[in-house]
Amino acid sequence: MIAIIDYGMGNLFSVEKAFVKLGAEVVVTSSPEVILSADKVVLPGVGAFGDCMSNLAEYGLIDVIHEVIGRGTPFLGICLGLQMLFDGSEEDPGVKGLGVFPGMVRKIVAPDLKIPHMGWNSLEFASDSQLFAEMPSETYVYFVHSYHAVPEDDKLITAVVDYGGPVTAAVGRGNVQAVQFHPEKSGNVGLSMLSKFKEMKI
């Protein structure tokens, strides 16, 4: 069973719909017990970093996420769900992130391009990730974001996108994988990535 964390933020039901299309057993939930009992866990997110972290705290889910990750349960962050895995964000200075990965979320610097970075763009795979196994080069996915993660360890980056320079598109280590783009809005390519997460083994 795949648990999609409901903390009052995020495009939960489009993510749920995508997994249902793949034949997954999926539940949208804010119950710590259900999340902890799940085979896999997804943390989606849209909006502001500070609001998302505040809601996670209000729902009592920060320790639950750390426990899930610590157990080795396959975990997928999507969009803000990626950014919250880091220590903090320039979007909301002083707000602590989950601190799963060392590093900060920074404003995209692309003087000649529009911010937010919105629309389809191609990925450049930076290191091995089960999500991207056998993906062709020039794989296009859908983005909507103004900030991106800057890990302390570059080896965490599994994919980048060129937007006035390299911008972090995905990160991962072990059971924790995360994407800045929206796989649920990225057509068959995105469904293929979600399918790989559905089958992911640690």
Tell me which of 117, 145, 148, 184 is the catalytic residue: 184
Strand residues in 6-110 grouped as ranges (E): 26-29, 40-43, 75-78, 88-89, 103-107
Q: Are strands 40-43 and 26-29 parallel, antiparallel or unpaired?
A: unpaired
Q: Indicate the residue type of 160.
A: V
Q: Catalytic: which of 79, 117, 145, 148?
A: 79
Cβ distance 193 to 132 under 8 Å?
yes
The full DSSP string for 122-178 is EEEE-S--GGGTTPPSSEEEEEEESEEEEESSGGGEEEEEESSSEEEEEEEETTEEE
Annotated active-site residue 79? The verdict is: yes
From the candidates 117, 145, 148, 182, give the one annotated as an active-site residue.
182
The answer to whether 2 touches 49, Cβ cutoff 8 Å, is no
The catalytic residue positions are: 79, 182, 184
